[in-house]
Amino acid sequence: MNKFTNANKAFHHLHARILKFGVDFDNTKALFNVGFEIDNPLDNQIANTHYIRRNWKQDYAEAEWQWYLSGDRNVHKLEDLYGKVPEIWRHMADEDGNVNSNYGWQWERGDQLDYVIDMLKHTPNTRRAAISIYDAKEMHTYYKDTPCTYAVQFTILNNKLNMCVTMRSNDLWYGFCNDQYCFSKLQLLVADKLSMEVGIYYHFAHNLHLYNDIIEKKNG
């Protein structure tokens, strides 16, 4: 498994890997069954290089995180926080403005997050501290917006909180950059509740990809 010190190094390494080894798959270049770890998940900034100008915006990623924390899955809440709604969220929203991929709304259902924190407090060696995001019982509602993340699992090891995110699909350019920021914030939130340090962030994606239009735009 690849190991990276921070999210920025992970992003640029994986970007190069997709361009070199990615296969053509549904308007993307894709790698399959990719797993890696980030040793310092709170070092979560994505920076430009001479070759790749992602122009990542931390203020937007923070607004998305605050939207998740609100538990409100309506895109108009994101608009309140950021001043506008990115086109991708408008495209994914239903006629009422609701989305399935607000992960905070997902982990609040059934009080999953509180349950996991309580479990970790009382049973530190548990293997059951997992939050389900993708709900098979609701697959019929996923016609516009299917959550990319299956689950998030926490493990305490050496008095540090490790976290593992498992995804069915992960767009590296937009999805990973903002997802890792929000998930690292979640890892810190839970660690703070447990009065311990943040450990390693593990990330598994069945399909990790770059869309062809992004590749063409950057190479054009």
Active site residues: 148
What is the number of residues in the chain? 220
How far apart CA 67 and CA 70 sit, in angstroms, is: 5
How far apart CA 185 and CA 131 sit, in angstroms, is: 15
User: Both tokens of residue 10?
Assistant: 């992970």
Q: Is beta strand 197-211 parallel, antiparallel or unpaired with respect to 160-167?
A: parallel
How far apart CA 213 and CA 210 sit, in angstroms, is: 8
Instruction: Name the maximum alpha-carbon separation found in the chain.
Output: 55
Alpha-carbon 69 to chain mean position: 14
Coil, strand, or helix at residue 37? strand
